[in-house]
Amino acid sequence: MSAIAARLRALDWRLPATGRGAITVWWRNFLVWRKLMRPSLLFNFGEPLIYLVGLGFGLGSFIREMAGMPYLTFIATGVLASSAMNTASFEGLYSVYARMVPQQTYEGMLATPLMVDDIVAGEMLWCATKGVISSTAILLVAAALGAITDWRAALCLPLFLLVGFCFAGPALVVASLSNSFDFFAYYITLVMTPMFMLCGVFFPTSALPEFVQGLVVFLPLWHAVELIRPLSAGQPVTDVVLHVGVLALYGAVGFYIAVLLLRRRLIT
Amino acid sequence: MPPPVDTPQYVVEASGLTKRFNAFTAVAGVDFSIPRGGCFGILGPNGAGKTTLLRMVLGQTLPTAGSLRVLGLPMPRETRRVRARIGVVPQMDNLDPDFTVYENLAIYANYFGLSRRAVHRRIEELLDFVELSQRAETRINTLSGGMKRRLSVARALVNDPEMLVLDEPTTGFDPQVRHLIWTRLRSLKNTGKTMILTTHYMEEAERLCDALMIVDHGRIIARGSPRELIREHVEPEVIEIHTPPPELRERLGRLNGHRVEYVGETLYCYTREPRDVLPALEGMPEVSFMRRPANLEDVFLRLTGRDLRE
C-alpha cells in the first residue's frame, strides 16, 4: 500500500495547462488525415451503410418498429452515438500509441515549446474530431436512406464532439498505460464491446434484466444514446444536463489522468 | 519570437545536478558550466549519463536535486521558453513518417508557433544547407539514413536557435555523411551558434569541440580542451606494437619513463621519448609497429578503462 502511495505522491498533480500548442498538435493530425482522406472517408461512409442496410432493412423487415420508431431509424440513431465512441476510442488507443512509441512523434514534439499537456489536449481534440467525422457520415447516410428526416438532427453535431471527447479520455489513459498494441484487446473486449451491446444501440435497455439496467446508467454510451437518439429522431429529449454532465465528466477525468500518466511516462 | 532579453556568459550552469532513477544514479551531483559560443562536448562510455544530462537541459528529464540554468533561465520551470531557443538533433531520428521532407520542417516550425508562410524561405535555405533541396517533396520513408540525419539537422534549425543540442549526431553513419555533417556543424559554429554535443567518437570530439568534459558513472572525470586533456592525461607519443616477441617485452620493461599496456596481442607504449624506445625495436624486422601522436581516444581509454560497457 505504501508503495502505491509513494508512486501517487511522485506524480505531478498540477492541473493541465495548455493553449495554442494543443491546436498545433491537432493540426498535425488533421494534415495527416487529409492526406489519407479518401480511404478514411470511404470507411466512414461505407461501414454505416452496410450496418444500416443489413440490420436496418434486414432485421427491420421482422421487427418493423422499436420504441415508437422504425427499426432502421432506431439502429441509425443508436449507431450515431456508438460510432463516435468507436472512432474516438480507436484513435486514442492505436493511433496515439503509434505516435508515442514506434514513431516517437511526441519525443520530437517535446524538443519544442510543446509540453505533455499540449500533446494530450491536442490528441483529445483530434479524437473528438474524428468522432464528429464518422458520426456525421452516418447522419448523412441515414438521411439518404430516409431513416432520419428531422432537421433537428443537425443539433447532434456538437454532441458528437462531446461523445468523442468522452471516450477519448479513457482511451488515452489505456494508451498511456500500455506497453504494446496487444494490451488494447483487454479494453476493447472487456469495456467497449459490452458497452456497445448493452447501452441501447440495438434494442432498448428496458429489455435487460433489472440489475443490468442499474449498471448501464453508469456507462457513458447509454447517456450518449439517450441524448442523440431522441434528438435525431425528432422526439423530446429529457435529462439533458445529467447526460451531458456524465459525458463531460468521463472525458475530463480521463483527460486529467492521461495527463498525469503521460507526464510520468514522457518526462522521466 | 522576441529577442532574448538576457545574454548571460554561460548557456548552461549546473550545480549539484543529480538524477536518480529509483536505486540507479544516472547523474551524481555534477557542477559545470558551458560558455556561450563554440562547441562543447560531453564524452563518456555508454550509460555514463550523457543523454540524461542533455535531457535535463531540454526539460525532458526532471532533476532529482541540484540547480540548473539554461540560457540564463531556471529549469525545469522555464522549459517552454528555453526550448523555444534551442534546436535538438536527437540520437534516433524521430522525423514524422506521414509527411514529406518539406512538410516535416513546416509542421515542426508550427510547434514553435511559426507559420508556414513565415518560415517558407527559411525552410528552402535549410534544405539547401543540408543538400536536400531536390528531395523537398519526398516522403520520409524513402529517404536513406544519411538523408534523414541531415533532415534532422535542418529541423533543429527551423526556429533559428541560439543553441544546438546534438546527441551522438553521426553514430552509425558512413564517412561521407559524417564529413558532410561535420562541415555543416563547423559552419554553424562560425555563425555564432553554441553547440553541445555528446559523442563517443573521439575523432568527432577532436574535430569539433573547443572544450569538453568526460563523464563516467554520472560524474565528471576530466574537462578541458582536447589538447589540454591530451597533455594532462597521456604521454605525447604512442607506439603500438602488434604481437611483440617476449624478448621485446623484456627490453621495454628495462626502460624507464614509459607506460606499457597490453590489450590482447597488442602492446601500447606511451612515451615522452620515442627515441629511447625505437632502438629496442631495431633488429626485429618481423615485428610490425606504428608510431603516432597521442589522441583523445588514449585519454578516454586511460580515464574510463578498457572494460566493455553494455
Say if residue B180 is in the same domain as residue B200. yes
Say if residue B51 is in the same domain as residue B27. yes
Whether residue A7 is contained in a domain is answered as no
Dihedral angle sign, alpha carbons of residues A124, A126, A131, A132: positive
- Nearest by CB to residue A105, choosing from B62, B84, B96, is B96
Say if residue B133 is in the same domain as residue B217. yes
List the single range of A26-35, B33-42, B285-294 with lowest mean pLDDT.
B285-294
**Is residue B90's pLDDT more than 60?**
yes
Whether residue B257 is contained in a domain is answered as yes
**Is residue A60's pLDDT more than 90?**
no
Whether residue B159 is contained in a domain is answered as yes
Say if residue B160 is in the same domain as residue B68. yes
Whether residue A3 is contained in a domain is answered as no
Q: Are B284 and B244 in contact (CB under 8 A)?
A: no
**Model pLDDT, residue B172:** 83
Q: Are A200 and A225 in contact (CB under 8 A)?
A: yes
Q: Are A241 and A1 in contact (CB under 8 A)?
A: no
Residue partners of B161: CB distance under 8 A and separation at least 6 = B85, B86, B87, B193
Mean pLDDT for chain B overall? 90
* DSSP symbol at B2: P
**Model pLDDT, residue B6:** 56
Measure the CA–CA gap between A138 and A33, rounded to whole angstroms: 18
- Nearest by CB to residue A267, choosing from B62, B84, B108, is B62
SS (H, E, C) A226-257: HHHHHHHHCCCCCCHHHHHHHHHHHHHHHHHH
Q: In degrees, to the nearest 5, what angle opens at C-alpha A60 toward C-alphas A56 and A66?
A: 100
**Is residue B3's pLDDT more than 60?**
no
Say if residue B222 is in the same domain as residue B239. no
Number of domains composing chain B: 2
**Model pLDDT, residue B310:** 59
Q: What is the mean pLDDT of residues A128-154?
A: 93
Q: Give the nearest chain B residue to A108 (CA atoms).
A: B94
Dihedral angle sign, alpha carbons of residues B102, B107, B111, B114: positive
**Model pLDDT, residue B4:** 52
pLDDT band at B53 (very low <50, low <70, confident <90, very high): very high
Which is nearest to A123 in space by CA: A249, A41, A21?
A: A21
Q: Between residues 88 and 127 of chain A, which touch chain B (CB distance below 8 Å)?
A: 103-105, 107-115
**Model pLDDT, residue A44:** 86
**Is residue B64's pLDDT more than 90?**
yes
Whether residue B304 is contained in a domain is answered as no
**Is residue B5's pLDDT more than 60?**
no
B interface with A, Cβ–Cβ below 8 Å: 21, 55, 58-62, 79-81, 83-84, 86, 88, 90, 92, 94-99, 103, 107-108, 110-113, 159
Q: What is the mean pLDDT of residues A167-184?
A: 96
Whether residue A157 is contained in a domain is answered as yes
Q: What is the mean pLDDT of residues A151-165?
A: 95
Helix-helix angle A20-35:B101-111, to 10 degrees? 160
Say if residue B33 is in the same domain as residue B136. yes
Whether residue A6 is contained in a domain is answered as no
- Nearest by CB to residue B94, choosing from A21, A24, A108, is A108
- Nearest by CB to residue A20, choosing from B61, B97, B113, is B113
For A208-229, how does the pLDDT look when each residue is reduced to its tens digit (9 = 90+)? 999 999 999 999 999 999 999 9
Measure the CA–CA gap between B62 and B35, rounded to whole angstroms: 22
Whether residue B96 is contained in a domain is answered as yes
Interface contact B95-A112, CB threshold 8 A: no
**Is residue B283's pLDDT more than 80?**
no
Q: Are A131 and A161 in contact (CB under 8 A)?
A: yes
Q: Give the nearest chain A residue to B54 (CA atoms).
A: A111
Measure the CA–CA gap between B118 and B75, rounded to whole angstroms: 29
Q: What is the mean pLDDT of residues B277-293?
A: 82
Would you call B191 exposed, middle or buried from its count of C-beta atoms within 10 A (0-12, 13-18, 19+)?
exposed
**Model pLDDT, residue A49:** 83
Whether residue A4 is contained in a domain is answered as no
**Looking at CA atoms only, how far is residue B78 from chain A in angstroms?**
10
**Model pLDDT, residue A1:** 63
Domain range spanning residue A123? 18-266
- Probe site for chain B from A112, A114, A119, A268 (most B CB atoms < 10 A): A112
Whether residue A2 is contained in a domain is answered as no
Whether residue B274 is contained in a domain is answered as yes
**Is residue B28's pLDDT more than 90?**
yes
Based on its alpha-carbon atoms, the radius of gyration of chain B, rounded to whole angstroms, reads: 23
**Is residue B128's pLDDT more than 60?**
yes
- Interface contacts (A, B; CB < 8 Å): 65
For A1-15, how does the pLDDT look when each residue is reduced to its tens digit (9 = 90+)? 678 888 888 888 999
Number of domains composing chain A: 1
Measure the CA–CA gap between A172 and A35, rounded to whole angstroms: 24
**Is residue B92's pLDDT more than 60?**
yes
Would you call B255 exposed, middle or buried from its count of C-beta atoms within 10 A (0-12, 13-18, 19+)?
middle
**Model pLDDT, residue B109:** 97
Say if residue B223 is in the same domain as residue B254. no
- Probe site for chain A from B71, B110, B153 (most A CB atoms < 10 A): B110
Domain range spanning residue B268? 235-293
**Is residue A40's pLDDT more than 80?**
yes
Say if residue B216 is in the same domain as residue B105. yes
Say if residue B16 is in the same domain as residue B143. yes
Q: A-chain residues within 8 Å CB-CB of B60?
A: 110-111, 266-268
Measure the CA–CA gap between B89 and B81, rounded to whole angstroms: 18
CATH assignment at residue B167: 3.40.50.300
Would you call A91 exposed, middle or buried from its count of C-beta atoms within 10 A (0-12, 13-18, 19+)?
buried
Interface contact A104-B159, CB threshold 8 A: no
Say if residue B51 is in the same domain as residue B194. yes
Mean pLDDT for chain A overall? 94
Q: What is the mean pLDDT of residues B95-123?
A: 94
Would you call A212 exposed, middle or buried from its count of C-beta atoms within 10 A (0-12, 13-18, 19+)?
exposed
**Model pLDDT, residue B202:** 86
List the single range of B163-167, B217-221, B261-265 with lowest mean pLDDT.
B261-265
**Model pLDDT, residue B200:** 82
Is A23 part of the contact surface with chain B (CB cutoff 8 Å)?
no
CATH assignment at residue B262: 3.30.70
Say if residue B195 is in the same domain as residue B251. no
Say if residue B71 is in the same domain as residue B37. yes
List the single range of A48-52, A109-113, A193-197, B78-82 with lowest mean pLDDT.
A48-52
Helices (H), chain B: 50-57, 79-84, 101-111, 116-129, 145-156, 175-190, 202-208, 226-233, 246-254, 274-281, 296-304
**Looking at CA atoms only, how far is residue A164 from chain B in angstroms?**
24
**Model pLDDT, residue A158:** 96
Residue A147 gets the label, from left (phi > 0), alpha (psi -120 to 50) or beta, of alpha
Percent of chain B predicted with pLDDT > 90? 61
Q: What is the mean pLDDT of residues A57-72?
A: 89
**Model pLDDT, residue A50:** 87
- Nearest by CB to residue A267, choosing from B60, B88, B113, is B60
**Is residue A58's pLDDT more than 90?**
no
For B235-267, how does the pLDDT look when each residue is reduced to its tens digit (9 = 90+)? 888 988 888 888 777 777 777 778 888 888 888
**Is residue B309's pLDDT more than 70?**
no
What is the per-residue DSSP string for B13-46? EEEEEEEEETTEEEEEEEEEEEESSSEEEEE--T
Whether residue B2 is contained in a domain is answered as no
Measure the CA–CA gap between B50 and B165, rounded to whole angstroms: 12
For B133-150, how does the pLDDT look when each residue is reduced to its tens digit (9 = 90+)? 999 999 999 999 999 999
> Residue length, chain A?
268
SS (H, E, C) chain A: CHHHHHHHHHCCCCCCCCCHHHHHHHHHHHHHHHHCHHHHHHHHHHHHHHHHHHHHHHHHHHHCEECCEEHHHHHHHHHHHHHHHHHHHHHHHHHHHHHHCCCCHHHHHCCCCCCHHHHHHHHHHHHHHHHHHHHHHHHHHHHHCCCCCCHHHHHHHHHHHHHHHHHHHHHHHHHHHCCCHHHHHHHHHHHHHHHHHHCCCCCCHHHCCHHHHHHHCCCHHHHHHHHHHHHHHCCCCCCHHHHHHHHHHHHHHHHHHHHHHHHHHHCC
Letter string b/e over residues A200-211, b meaning 16 or more CB atoms within 10 A of that residue's CB: bbbbebeebeee
Q: How far is residue B105 from each of residues A186, B89, B96, B177, measured CA to CA in Å?
A: 38, 13, 10, 20
Measure the CA–CA gap between A165 and A91, rounded to whole angstroms: 11
For B176-195, how does the pLDDT look when each residue is reduced to its tens digit (9 = 90+)? 889 999 999 999 999 989 99
Q: Give the nearest chain A residue to B78 (CA atoms).
A: A113
